[in-house]
Amino acid sequence: MAMPTDLVTWVLDQNMPPDDSGVSLKVHHISAEGDPALLGRLEDLGLGPFEEILYFGRAPLGEPIYISVRETVLALRLMEARLIFVTRVVP
Protein backbone atom coordinates (compact mmCIF):
# COMPACT_ATOMS: atom_id res chain seq x y z
CA MET A 1 0.00 0.00 0.00
CA ALA A 2 1.42 3.34 -1.06
CA MET A 3 1.81 6.08 1.51
CA PRO A 4 -0.92 8.71 1.34
CA THR A 5 0.06 12.05 -0.14
CA ASP A 6 -2.09 15.11 -0.55
CA LEU A 7 -3.78 15.43 -3.93
CA VAL A 8 -1.91 18.58 -4.93
CA THR A 9 1.55 17.11 -4.28
CA TRP A 10 0.44 14.06 -6.18
CA VAL A 11 -0.89 16.15 -9.10
CA LEU A 12 2.23 18.26 -9.37
CA ASP A 13 4.46 15.18 -9.42
CA GLN A 14 2.60 13.29 -12.10
CA ASN A 15 2.26 13.32 -15.85
CA MET A 16 -1.13 12.51 -17.25
CA PRO A 17 -1.55 9.17 -18.99
CA PRO A 18 -2.10 9.33 -22.77
CA ASP A 19 -5.77 8.34 -22.71
CA ASP A 20 -8.32 10.59 -21.05
CA SER A 21 -10.11 8.14 -18.81
CA GLY A 22 -8.45 9.70 -15.78
CA VAL A 23 -6.10 8.29 -13.16
CA SER A 24 -7.65 6.23 -10.39
CA LEU A 25 -6.90 7.36 -6.86
CA LYS A 26 -8.41 6.50 -3.53
CA VAL A 27 -9.16 9.01 -0.79
CA HIS A 28 -7.15 8.15 2.32
CA HIS A 29 -8.47 10.89 4.53
CA ILE A 30 -9.55 14.52 4.41
CA SER A 31 -7.44 16.98 6.37
CA ALA A 32 -9.31 18.62 9.21
CA GLU A 33 -7.35 21.85 8.76
CA GLY A 34 -9.71 23.54 6.30
CA ASP A 35 -12.58 25.99 6.54
CA PRO A 36 -15.59 24.12 8.04
CA ALA A 37 -17.91 25.14 5.20
CA LEU A 38 -15.39 23.84 2.69
CA LEU A 39 -14.88 20.56 4.57
CA GLY A 40 -18.65 20.17 4.83
CA ARG A 41 -19.06 20.63 1.14
CA LEU A 42 -16.33 18.10 0.34
CA GLU A 43 -18.24 15.70 2.57
CA ASP A 44 -21.57 16.43 0.83
CA LEU A 45 -19.99 15.66 -2.51
CA GLY A 46 -19.02 12.25 -1.18
CA LEU A 47 -15.32 12.94 -0.69
CA GLY A 48 -14.49 10.74 2.26
CA PRO A 49 -12.15 7.87 3.16
CA PHE A 50 -12.05 4.94 0.70
CA GLU A 51 -13.86 6.93 -1.96
CA GLU A 52 -12.51 6.38 -5.44
CA ILE A 53 -11.66 9.52 -7.41
CA LEU A 54 -10.41 10.06 -10.92
CA TYR A 55 -7.90 12.76 -11.76
CA PHE A 56 -8.43 14.37 -15.19
CA GLY A 57 -5.77 17.07 -15.32
CA ARG A 58 -5.38 20.80 -14.83
CA ALA A 59 -7.03 23.89 -16.30
CA PRO A 60 -5.20 25.79 -19.07
CA LEU A 61 -3.65 28.22 -16.57
CA GLY A 62 -2.54 25.39 -14.26
CA GLU A 63 -5.38 25.76 -11.79
CA PRO A 64 -8.04 24.53 -10.93
CA ILE A 65 -7.66 20.77 -11.29
CA TYR A 66 -10.39 18.47 -12.56
CA ILE A 67 -11.40 15.34 -10.67
CA SER A 68 -14.42 13.09 -10.66
CA VAL A 69 -16.01 11.66 -7.56
CA ARG A 70 -19.28 9.75 -7.33
CA GLU A 71 -20.13 10.33 -10.99
CA THR A 72 -19.63 14.09 -10.67
CA VAL A 73 -16.79 16.01 -12.32
CA LEU A 74 -15.47 18.81 -10.12
CA ALA A 75 -13.04 21.69 -10.53
CA LEU A 76 -11.03 22.32 -7.36
CA ARG A 77 -8.57 25.09 -6.58
CA LEU A 78 -5.21 23.82 -5.32
CA MET A 79 -6.13 25.22 -1.89
CA GLU A 80 -9.20 23.03 -1.87
CA ALA A 81 -7.49 19.94 -3.30
CA ARG A 82 -4.72 20.25 -0.71
CA LEU A 83 -7.16 18.97 1.92
CA ILE A 84 -7.60 15.65 0.15
CA PHE A 85 -5.07 12.91 0.89
CA VAL A 86 -4.96 10.10 -1.63
CA THR A 87 -3.25 6.87 -2.52
CA ARG A 88 -2.71 5.59 -6.05
CA VAL A 89 -4.89 2.70 -7.16
CA VAL A 90 -2.80 0.29 -9.17
CA PRO A 91 -4.96 -0.98 -12.04
- Nearest-approach distance from CB 9 to another protein, in angstroms: 19
In single-letter form, the type of residue at position 52 comes to: E
Residue closer to another protein by CB (options 31, 40) is 40
Instruction: Using the Cα atoms of residue 41, residue 32, residue 48 and residue 84 in order, give the sign of their dihedral.
Output: positive
Q: Which residues contact 22 (CB under 8 A, 6 or more apart)?
A: 54, 55, 56, 67, 68
- Nearest-approach distance from CB 16 to another protein, in angstroms: 11
d(CA 26, CA 52): 5
Residue closer to another protein by CB (options 2, 59) is 59
Interface residues toward another protein, by CB under 8 A: 20-22, 24, 35, 37-38, 40-46, 48, 52, 54, 56-57, 59-64, 66, 68, 70-77, 80
Residue closer to another protein by CB (options 13, 62) is 62
